[in-house]
Structures are given as structure tokens and as C-alpha cells.
Amino acid sequence: MSKQPNYIAHLPDADGYIDYPQPEHDIWSELYARQRVNLPGRACPEYLDGLDKLSLPVDRIPQLAHIDNVLQQTTGWKTSAVPALISFGDFFQLLANKSFPVATFIRRREEFEYLQEPDIFHEVFGHCPLLTNPSFAHFSHLYGRLGLAASREERVFLARLYWFTVEFGVLRSSSNQLRIYGGGILSSPGETLFVMSEEPEIRPFDLVDVMRTPYRIDIMQPIYYAIESISDLGAIAEMDIMAAVKEAQQLGLFKPTFPAKAG
């Protein structure tokens, strides 16, 4: 990736331990406390169950070994400490090996509500709880394997699938209840409230439509795609995803529903 990161990740010592400064622990603590209030009644039950299993510390940034112990016991996954930005190839390779990349830095206070770059709060608090769920873990593993074998052009379409599921996915049950499972929402105090408002459009999940939908990383999402349950991710993993990529390539992208980025 050519983009320069706005943050520098902390490096673990020989034992895998990272010594975070106290102000960064304070940011974690404030984010955690706020989301624990925001998420009941908004996050999906499978996420909340995973959060309980992880037993994340409230007052400090967790060490990755703590996360790994739980993930290994539940779905056979683990984490991998990475810099702020990694290549698509490295990202897919890690997922294909059931290793979830975690950037070892935390956001600054001025980006408390929403952060473009994935920080440790986003990765650990937003994503890792659902990695204890077999359907979510299976989907993530298969996605990594598909991405590893895909061409550069195909990866662009696969990226939209990841964006509208793992990052910004929601559930809409048969009783019309809306719940969040995407880590990009769950780790963002601002977007957690925004997605439940009347402002965004919630569309039913369609594999080809998802891959044809443009998005921007620096705004609240105007469109979200809803599956009915987390188990649907297991069903999606069994679809011919690469055939859907080819169909989306042939049909082309939908017109963006957001303004072009200035500059």
C-alpha cells in the first residue's frame, strides 16, 4: 500500500508483550465503557456472547496472548500483531491461516467517534468477539483463501463483500429487529448510533449487489446490507463467490449515493 499511515504501531518484545503508555490505556477504557452502554439492544447476541467469552479488560489495552487463548479454544483462530497498514496479499494470507491481523496502536482522542484506520480497539473489541462464532470464523477463513487466489481486479470486488459484511454488516430478523455485527460499527461510538437512526438505507443482502456498491471509508455509511442471522455467513461462504465477482465485474458499479471526496 502506498498510503502513509497516520499512526505507528507498537512493537511487542521478545515475549510478545506490548507496553502501552497510560494515556492509551485511558482511551481504551473510555471507548470500552461507552460501547458497553451503547451495544446492548443494538449488537447481535452472538457478538455479545463472544465479548463475554473474551473477558476483555476494562481499564487497559489487552495483550494479544489473552485473546489468542480464547480464540484457539473456540474456533482455532489467533491474532497477529501487524503495522498500521498491511498489503492485501498479507491480509488474505493471514485470514487464510486463521490468523486475524491486529494493528497495535489506538486512536487519538480527536478521532474517538470514528477512525479510518483500523486500530486495536477496532480489531479486538469490534471483530474478535465474533471470531468465537463458528459461522463468522468459517466465512472469514474462506474469504482469506479466496482473496489469496484472486487477481488484483477481483480483490477490489471482494473488498466490497468484506466491507458490507465483516466491517459494516447488520442483521434484520424476520421480526424486523435491526442488530449490528460489523466490527466497523461496533467499535465506533458514532456509527453505532447512526446505523440505528432513520438516516441510512438498509438493503437486503444480495451477493452481486454488495460487490457493485461503492463506499467511502471516511464517512458514516449511507447504505448497509442486512442478512437475517449470523448463520447466513456460513451459507454465503458456500456460494460461488468468485462467479458473483465475475458477474459484478460485467455489470459494473452502482452510482454512488454519497458525494465525491473533496480534493
Q: Is 66 a catalytic residue?
A: no
Q: Annotation-wise, does 167 bind a ligand?
A: yes
Tell me the C-alpha distance between 49 and 78, whole Å: 18
Exposed/middle/buried for 149, CB within 10 Å: 0-12, 13-18, 19+? exposed
Q: Give the whole-angstrom CA distance, residue 110 versus residue 143.
A: 33
Catalytic residue among 167, 188, 191, 229: 167
158 in Cβ contact with 150 (< 8 Å): yes
Q: Looking at 46, 122, 141, 229, which residue is catalytic?
A: 122
Question: Is 197 an annotated catalytic residue?
Answer: no
Q: In what order do the strands lie in the sheet with 178-180?
A: 178-180, 170-172, 223-227, 201-204
Is 122 within any annotated ligand binding site?
Answer: yes
To the question of whether residue 25 is assigned a binding role by annotation, the answer is no
Q: Which of 14, 159, 178 is nearest to 81 (CA)?
A: 14
Catalytic residue among 127, 140, 141, 188: 127
Helix, strand, coil proportions of the chain in percent (round to 5)? 50, 10, 40
Active site residue 135: no
Q: Catalytic residue at 127?
A: yes
Catalytic-labelled residue, pool 187, 188, 191, 229: 187
Which residues are identified as catalytic? Answer: 122, 127, 167, 187
Residues contributing to the annotated binding site for Fe cation: 122, 127, 167
Residues contributing to the annotated binding site: 122, 127, 167
